[in-house]
Amino acid sequence: MHTLIMIIATGCYSGYLPKAPGTWGSLVGLLLVFLFHNFSLPAYCAVVATIFAVGSFAAGEAEKIMDNRDPGAVVIDEIVGMLITMAAVPLTPFTVLSGFILFRIFDIVKPFPVNFFDQRFHGGIGIMLDDVIAGIYSLAVLQLLLYLLF
């Protein structure tokens, strides 16, 4: 069971890649965006909600296995954040690159309330929530850019 938990929590071990595990996890998230982009919006949201629920459990268990609070190798949160960022967004080179950059910025800078969730919530849900909020911010800015530019 530990192996399955770690596969999920680390994004198929992408969180162990050298330098910037969150960036690697975000790239795995983008791969899943391409896999699910043809789903209806309700089906896409159901997939994201399922990954969030399973990821919250796996992230919390991975913390215990690794005996480390919010370990860097756990990137399921970045995967969910990228899926949220790209929800209901047409896939073009502009949106994919912009969504990726926006999410990484919000995930790293952690503006309020991202930092609130990062600091106040612990365990699997705490690991996940700050990236969910960063994904929502990224989605909002990306939608605004699409509205203003196109």
What does the domain layout of the chain look like in residue ranges?
2-149
pLDDT in tens, 91-128: 999 999 999 999 999 999 999 888 888 888 889 999 99
pTM: 0.95
Query: CB count, 10 Å around CB of 14?
Result: 20
Which residues in the chain show pLDDT less than 50? none
Q: Distance (Å, rounded) from C-alpha 92 to C-alpha 98?
A: 10
pLDDT at 121: 87
Peptide bond into 113 cis (omega under 30): yes
